[in-house]
Amino acid sequence: MNKIWNRLFLEERPSIGLSFFRIFVALTVGLHVIPSFFHLDDNYLSGAFKTFNTDFFPIWFINGVQQSPDWLVIAFVVGFYVTWFFFLIGLFAQISCVLMTACCYYFYALNCFHIGTLSWDILLVTLFLMCISPYHGDYFSIDALRRADIDAYQKPRPFFTQRLLQLQIASTFFFTGLYKITGEGNWITGNPIYYLMNYPTQGVTKNFLLKEWMAVHPHFCHIVGLMIVCTEMSLPFFLFYPKTRRAAIVLGLCWHALLVLTLDVPAIFFFLFPAQLLLFIHPQAIVDWINVKRRINEQSPRAKVIYDGSCGFCRSSVRALEVMDLFKKLEYVPGDQSLKEMRLELPDGKNYGGFYAFRRLTWILPMLYVMVPIVYFPGAGIVGPLVYGWIARHRYLFPVFYACKMGDCVR
């Protein structure tokens, strides 16, 4: 029994999948909560119409939150924005997750009318699981850059949190299917899909391609309903069985794509659940695939990053590039002190310097992909070189990463 427990929950595996999942959790939370801030007067301040979820919160907690003055509500709004952004970029990832989650619980207790749905309850459970894990900032995060650990993507970590997240999505599928045959409106004896095609409540179904055809074919709608129940109840078993896992992940992704295309579902179905399905991919398989790519690129002509080798800030910046260089697409060449800006030489002979070198790097390094819209935003070609030039001229004044202070960045 101990061996099974250790294998299922305590075995150490790389946390790169959990780090990737953190981004989608942050996006889902933001899409749930931030729109509710657009009308604070109507949603959260003292004059708002409010409803409370007494099944989720104890009465004493709700009564205490309702005593909040408006300035405290606004303070929580600011706190949410800060901690949410930190969690998104992975800066002090676990602490920011705890504080952001506390803000979410506060707003839910303050007024559940706008965000109090079943999907929101599921998201709060996910957030709780993320709060207990210190490993979702191992990669795809500012924390990874601060630690300057180039092996962070493959560092073994306890698999406990990721296993609980797998159980969460699997049980969600299973009990959703079970409710369809045990609750009101039994999907075996009834035909709810046909009802949705003909008499939908506003904001439930979309006008997809086959909707009108399905509205006049009740038998087909009934078959679709039975297929939905079978899929939801069997998918958890297929996900945990190694020989069917890959097909089950693909089926689950297609399943959520169909939901998004046909029904007006919350953001959790678009961002959170598909990413959670990807947690069933064995982390070591991801790392092995990355290492194969790294070995191939190391044996091929690579772009060269030329930098001031005598500058601690420059060395720490290169160390950060090495952390972000997941597939080993770059080669790092220290130059002399007279080098005024970083240079990037591509294998095809093209040469970039300063801001334009950094802009080209956003297409090479996965962790910089999010910067592409920013560095190509209208006017970035004017402002970017000015900002880069100022930093380059004052680079000796900037602090370096902890790893560089310890001498790990010296070449």
pTM beyond 0.85, yes or no = yes
Pair 163, 309 in one domain: no
Q: Is 101 exposed, middle or buried (0-12, 13-18, 19+ CB in 10 A)?
A: buried
| pLDDT at position 410 | 45
What confidence tens digit (pLDDT) does each residue in 129-184 have?
999 999 999 999 999 998 888 888 999 999 999 999 999 999 999 999 998 888 77
In a domain, 199, yes or no: yes
Token pair recorded at residue 186: 């039994």
Range 35-60 average pLDDT:
90
Pair 114, 175 in one domain: no
Pair 251, 312 in one domain: no
349: pLDDT confidence band, cut at 50, 70 and 90?
confident
3-state secondary structure of 73: helix
The C-alpha angle with vertex 366 and arms to 361 and 368, in degrees rounded to 5, equals 55
What confidence tens digit (pLDDT) does each residue in 303-346 have?
999 988 887 778 888 889 999 999 999 999 987 755 678 889 99
3-state secondary structure of 308: strand
Pair 150, 163 in one domain: no
Of 174-188, 222-236, 336-350, least confident by mean pLDDT is 336-350
Max CA separation in the chain (angstroms): 80
| pLDDT at position 400 | 60
- Identity of residue 210: L
Pair 239, 352 in one domain: no
Pair 382, 322 in one domain: yes
Q: Which domain holds residue 233?
A: 159-265
In a domain, 272, yes or no: no
Number of domains in the chain: 3
Domain boundary among 265, 286, 319: 265
pLDDT of residue 406 exceeding 70, the answer is: no
Pair 139, 183 in one domain: no
| pLDDT at position 1 | 63
Residue 36: name the closest of 69, 1, 84, 87 by CA: 84
In a domain, 294, yes or no: no
pLDDT of residue 348 exceeding 80, the answer is: yes
Domain boundary among 265, 283, 313: 265
In a domain, 122, yes or no: yes
What confidence tens digit (pLDDT) does each residue in 266-300 have?
778 888 999 999 999 999 999 999 999 999 999 99
In a domain, 288, yes or no: no
Range 87-102 average pLDDT:
96
In a domain, 9, yes or no: yes
